[in-house]
Structure 1
Amino acid sequence: MAVLNEVNRRSGTKPQVSSQSIVRQAVILLVAYLTLGVIIYWFNRDHFAASETHPVVDALYFCIVTMCTIGYGDITPKTTATKLFSIMFVLVGFGFIDILLSGMVAYVLDLQESYLLRSVKGVGEKKESYIIDVKKGRMRIRMKVGLALGVVVLCIGVGAMVMHYVEKLGWLDSFYLSVMSVTTVGYGDRAFQSMEGRIFASIWLLVSTLAVARAFLYLAEARVDKRHRKMAKWVLGQDMTVSEFLAADIDNNGFVSKSEYVVYKLKEMGKVSEKDIMQISNKFDRLDAGNCGKITLADLMSRH
């Protein structure tokens, strides 16, 4: 038993990535990247065509608007160097805020899931545990969609209010500019002109534009999940034909074992591919040192 425990320790533990650490790393990288962008803009501010308010605010505002792919047109590069800077900044920077929002959403969902599923903690039956896992997966997808759409609606509302009271736009124009900004259209007929408005936009645009992108992504995920569940229900409801029996009989021994049936149905549902099965099979063959079709304790001991 002591030797077996030693073997288990050598195998290591499953790596885990914390959503909190992802958010922390993304925030640090984003702040550093924006700082670099502001510094570059500061030293090249004469090479930009802009309606100026404050150099630092304008620099941060331009970096955010560029990073979020909005492009109002109120600040634009004029020289070759500043144009190349803008190209690189948008290509690299958009990935930072995408990682940041992904981590934040994952963290919020983890908290919600932990709270909502606290009552089912300690269930021991396999069938009940499986049902709970399925429900958790569906609920998680629905929470992601609801959370993302809620953030989008909130951002549009907050943006419209700030534009009305800070930028002194009418309610229709405020709502118009808010939606055009959140959806990253940015026609350029309306933009943030005041220093206060640009400070607000520097924070608001980071959240709102990515919230829209995440909402569409989660809606697509929900549709795919619904399609997969329908496919699984159809596959499991079909009786086995002779041709399916022959296909499921992996080792060609004249009968289909439970494991062979499970693997075949997983392939039908698209949960596993032939390449995945071959990789697992090759791993099994390496562990089966005695070539007896099963892994024994002696096989494990012989590898350590």
Structure 2
Amino acid sequence: MTPSEFKDRLIFGPSPRDSSQYFHSLSQKHSPSSSAAAADTFPDSSPLDPLLPPQQHHGHPLHRSKTAPAMAIIDDLHHPMHQQTELEPSSRSVVRQAFALLVVYLSLGVLIYWLNRDHYVVNQTHPVVDGLYFCIVTMCTIGYGDITPNSVVTKLFSIMFVLVGFGFIDILLSGMVSYVLDLQESYMLDSAKRREEPAKRRSYIIDVKKGRMRIRLKVALALGVVVSCIALGVGIMHFIEKIDWLDSFYLSVMSVTTVGYGDRAFKTLPGRLFAAVWLLVSTLAVARAFLYLAEARVDKRNRERAKRVLCETMSVSQFFAADIDNNGCVSKEEYVIYKLKEMEKITDKDITPISKQFDKLDRCSNGKITLVDLLDSSSGD
């Protein structure tokens, strides 16, 4: 093995056939016995002794050198695969968990309603259906007034149920929206990648499109769900509740917007079964639609600000503002930080904790983090 090959192996990692020999060589300290073992491992590496790691005083087999070992090897040695932290739960698992908790919570609410059904003012259809309908109307903060509690126990139950239950709906629907957006985004980005030219500009364009696309998809999806829910509610109210078209549209809009005047409500058994599911989806879809519209407006404002900042030339006052270390020149890092501040992407409050973390890793206080600093930090932890 030539010195050039050994250097490439240190930087880029070993090939699959000699990875085990390389791990063994890196894990030994530099001593007369380890040097002999290294000579056995690499028979033709006698002229490479100066490149091998020297004796270390901190108990680590790796030392500071200009040819740091490949990061893949270091990660494998110090962070085995079975010790890696688990990824955050996906949107699908969040939906499953939230749905399971919601079912349990609604079942508990229906049970409490059924046990105290004589303490409600209600036009009864079926105790279980009425209980489910009452729980959904309460969780969605509609309050038609067709079912009301009239005892201390039922009033306290209604208070606790709406305060806790509204969070379940938000988690469930936000997870569902994120899951659908991820699927749509993945499909559209794959199509965009196939159409774009293979160049660095393609990566930038895809990143920009990804951000805009996700916001637009969120707005379109939320508005589409709202319109669909209103239309579905109008049809069910007209054909099931026997309400005329105008009043059906009126009740549908008042329901999804959680106004709930109480002059109209669901009175039949099928209507209340439908409302139990319909209200659960439609009311939060309206809230999400307004939230995403506000997010789209903020994103547009941020893009306009970024475009303005990138197009303007640097003045003398801006030069002094960008010169963080006051050395009379602006480095690339200082320029990037200054522009990010101008775009309001980051603030000094964001930079300070990152700088402190860097100083903690920089054991030699030379303004650079080396591999030995990283290994010393991990061993100290």
Q: TM-score interval w.r.t. the shorter chain?
A: over 0.9
- Corresponding residue for residue 75 of structure 1: 147
Shift of 1:170: 0.5
Shift of 1:236: 1.2
Shift of 1:299: 1.1
Seen in structure 2, the aligned counterparts of structure 1 residues 15 and 285 have a Cα distance that, compared at 3 Å, is: farther
* Worse overlay, 288-297 or 13-22: 13-22
> 1:41 and 2:113 equivalent?
yes
Shift of 1:101: 0.5
Seen in structure 2, the aligned counterparts of structure 1 residues 105 and 3 have a Cα distance that, compared at 3 Å, is: closer
Pairs within 5 Å for 1:235-274: 235-274=309-348
Match of 1:28 among 89, 92, 100: 100
Pairs within 5 Å for 1:93-172: 93-119=165-191, 120=193, 125-172=199-246
Shift of 1:91: 0.9
Instruction: Report if aligned partners of 1:51, 1:74 keep a CA contact under 8 Å in 2.
Output: yes
> 1:6 and 2:77 equivalent?
yes
Matches of 1:72 and 1:123, distance apart in 2: 57
Seen in structure 2, the aligned counterparts of structure 1 residues 180 and 129 have a Cα distance that, compared at 3 Å, is: same
Matches of 2:147 and 2:236, distance apart in 1: 21
CA RMSD of aligned residues (A): 1.7
Matches of 1:88 and 1:210, distance apart in 2: 19
Aligned-partner residue type, residue 5 of structure 1: D
Matches of 1:92 and 1:102, distance apart in 2: 16
Match of 1:180 among 240, 248, 254: 254
Match of 1:18 among 90, 94, 100: 90
Aligned-partner residue type, residue 132 of structure 1: I
Shift of 1:35: 0.6
Matches of 2:75 and 2:266, distance apart in 1: 66
Instruction: Report if aligned partners of 1:123, 1:129 keep a CA contact under 8 Å in 2.
Output: no
Secondary structure (helix, strand or coil) at the match of 1:117 reads helix
Q: Deviations over 1:117-170 (max 9, x none)?
A: 113169874443122111111011001101110110000011010000100111
* Worse overlay, 151-160 or 241-250: 241-250
* Worse overlay, 219-228 or 236-245: 236-245
Matches of 1:14 and 1:197, distance apart in 2: 45
Aligned-partner residue type, residue 77 of structure 2: E
Seen in structure 2, the aligned counterparts of structure 1 residues 208 and 81 have a Cα distance that, compared at 3 Å, is: same
* Worse overlay, 100-109 or 117-126: 117-126
Seen in structure 2, the aligned counterparts of structure 1 residues 4 and 193 have a Cα distance that, compared at 3 Å, is: closer
Instruction: Report if aligned partners of 1:289, 1:299 keep a CA contact under 8 Å in 2.
Output: yes
Shift of 1:15: 3.5
Seen in structure 2, the aligned counterparts of structure 1 residues 95 and 270 have a Cα distance that, compared at 3 Å, is: same
Pairs within 5 Å for 1:191-210: 191-210=265-284
- Corresponding residue for residue 58 of structure 1: 130
- Corresponding residue for residue 218 of structure 1: 292
Matches of 1:262 and 1:5, distance apart in 2: 33
Matches of 1:4 and 1:38, distance apart in 2: 53
Question: Which TM-score applies when normalising by structure 1?
Answer: 0.96
Aligned-partner residue type, residue 142 of structure 1: R
Matches of 1:246 and 1:21, distance apart in 2: 50
Question: Which TM-score applies when normalising by structure 2?
Answer: 0.77
Task: Say how many residue pairs are matched.
Answer: 304
Secondary structure (helix, strand or coil) at the match of 1:295 reads coil
Aligned-partner residue type, residue 85 of structure 1: F
The structure, 1 or 2, with the larger RCO (C-alpha pairs under 8 Å, 6+ apart) is 1
Seen in structure 2, the aligned counterparts of structure 1 residues 13 and 260 have a Cα distance that, compared at 3 Å, is: farther
Where structure 2 has 5 or more consecutive residues not aligned to the other structure, the ranges are 1-68
**CA radius of gyration, larger in:** 2
**Percent identity of paired positions between Structure 1 and Structure 2:** 69
Instruction: Report if aligned partners of 1:42, 1:55 keep a CA contact under 8 Å in 2.
Output: yes
